[in-house]
Amino acid sequence: MMSHLPFGAFNPRFHGVSLFVTAERMGRIAGYEAVADPSSWAARSDALSLEEISTISVLDHERRHFHDFLVSPFGAVMMGMRMQASLAGLQAIKLLKQCVGKWVPAPIGRWIHWDDRQRRDWISTTGEAYGFTLGDVVALPHHPENAPAPHKSGIHAVADDLPVEEQLAQYALAATSGYRFMEVLRTKRVDGFGITIAADSVFEATAHLVQSQAIYTGQSAQASRLFEEFIANSDLSHLQALNTMALALHRATGDVSAERICELFTWMMLGPPDKVLSSGHPAARCGGVLTLLAQQPKNAVFRARAPTTAIFDALDRIFGEADWRSNVAAASAASDRRMAKFDRAAERLDGGYFDSLFAVARHWHSDQSASRSAFVEEPGSLSKPLRYVEESAYPAPFLEVRLPAGVHQRSKPVRSERMRAVAVDAEGLQAIGYTCQPPGSHPDGLLDATHNARITTHVMDLVFQDEPVADAYDKYWRDVLAGMIGKRVASLI
């Protein structure tokens, strides 16, 4: 849908939810929050357009992605990998300052994979347009792309008696391989039933079901019908698994319960973390459930009125996979081990952005623990859209508001305990984004840590470029990075 940021949920650069908004959209959300009595809103909402209905409920949608990622083993693998890549990347950035040279090629991993001839070819064409020679570029060693990585992606210390350029290359390669692994998880596809299923198909299904419930609860029944029509008629690829499932269930049972669909899609996220590239991947489990529905439409998992745990247990037995509880427990144990490594790493890496990154890692870890406990205790708190929306048993996320289309001109700098601005001028009047404390929570040091950790992931995007940087941000982050490392970035693309 238009108001949804593609992939925002599967590449969490920010511990919380991110919204891409225009000033107009901000006004609509603010207008909704200002209506004290939901019934007066319901009376007015007859005239609302789909765009308005979706915008008002976009936070409910994004919040669900956040919670699915905290609870699911798949989400834990992705978030852990991102944290490790960020840590390796930040160590690389720190070392860049000590290296000789004026220019840093980006993505830095590509330059390291290039041999001398490929580097000279690039210099003699594009590099000359920047006006520099090979001698101006930081002297990075060459590691062939297919050679075994000097270190697998992880939290490790590179021997500090190595030349600084070699240390830098090793951290950069560790970060690069982390980004590549996330890309593999994100782009894995399963084809069948005339559709293509990816991890997004599963996570978007639950987010849209919850959004529809939130629209019903917070706006009106008519508004939620409009939203459901949009889903049913959508040709967006990430909604096809949801639509295929709904149609097939309707054919099999004569009834479509959003609750049952949400339970099935929630189960798909709960695969064993050690099989996340194969049968444990959400897309593989989604393909399995669709096949089961085609072959055994009368199976009790599609028909019986049963508690969520009974549905989950039955699906585990049918597919012969590890029990969902033990998968969540395995993901939890892996997160604990990773956190212990972070704590050890924090002893040798401290100060500035490292402190922020570690503070966010700890907060992330405690949000994961709280979310897993709430879920295992009562899976219906997540798998049933109505209960999820009404009970809100899960941690409230920080909010990132981004204004990619331009700068928000302020009359005064932000002075708030609950909000920080990313401003492109020294006075703090030209904001390109905001980081906000969750509503209802007590202001504490986490707001600054979350904000600063987000700045490191912006800068990381420039150096490693696993995703393109939005135009309005590009120049600003180049300047920030130049301030950190004393060098400029030259894009190899």
Q: What residues make contact with Zn ion under the rule CB under 5 A? A: 4, 207
Q: 344 near 363, Cβ under 8 Å? A: no
Identify the bridge partners of residue 419 per DSSP, sorted by sequence position: 436
C-beta of 207 vs 401, nearer to Zn ion:
207
Instruction: Report the nearest approach of Zn ion to the CB of residue 8 (Å).
Output: 7
Instruction: Report the nearest approach of Zn ion to the CB of residue 382 (Å).
Output: 16
Q: 115 near 144, Cβ under 8 Å? A: yes
C-beta of 137 vs 269, nearer to Zn ion:
269
Instruction: Report the nearest approach of Zn ion to the CB of residue 204 (Å).
Output: 5
CA-to-CA distance for 321 and 283, rounded, in angstroms? 15
C-beta of 8 vs 105, nearer to Zn ion:
8
Encoded tokens for 466? 């696993």
3-state SS class at 246: helix
C-beta of 51 vs 323, nearer to Zn ion:
51
Instruction: Report the nearest approach of Zn ion to the CB of residue 212 (Å).
Output: 13
Q: 268 near 286, Cβ under 8 Å? A: yes
CA-to-CA distance for 215 and 7, rounded, in angstroms? 22
Instruction: Report the nearest approach of Zn ion to the CB of residue 261 (Å).
Output: 16
User: What residue is closest to Zn ion based on CB?
Assistant: 207
Instruction: Report the nearest approach of Zn ion to the CB of residue 2 (Å).
Output: 12
Q: In sequence order, which residues have a C-beta less than 8 Å from that of residue 223 and are 6 or more positions away?
A: 45, 48, 53, 215, 216
C-beta of 207 vs 424, nearer to Zn ion:
207
C-beta of 4 vs 15, nearer to Zn ion:
4
Instruction: Report the nearest approach of Zn ion to the CB of residue 21 (Å).
Output: 15
Amino acid in position 253:
T
Of the candidates 148, 91, 170, 96, the residue with the CA atom closest to the CA atom of residue 488: 96
Distances (CA, A) of 156 to 56, 159, 170, 178, 328: 44, 9, 10, 13, 26
> Between β-strands 408-409 and 488-491, what pairing exists: parallel, antiparallel or unpaired?
unpaired
C-beta of 204 vs 461, nearer to Zn ion:
204
Residue 233 burial (CB count, 10 A): 9
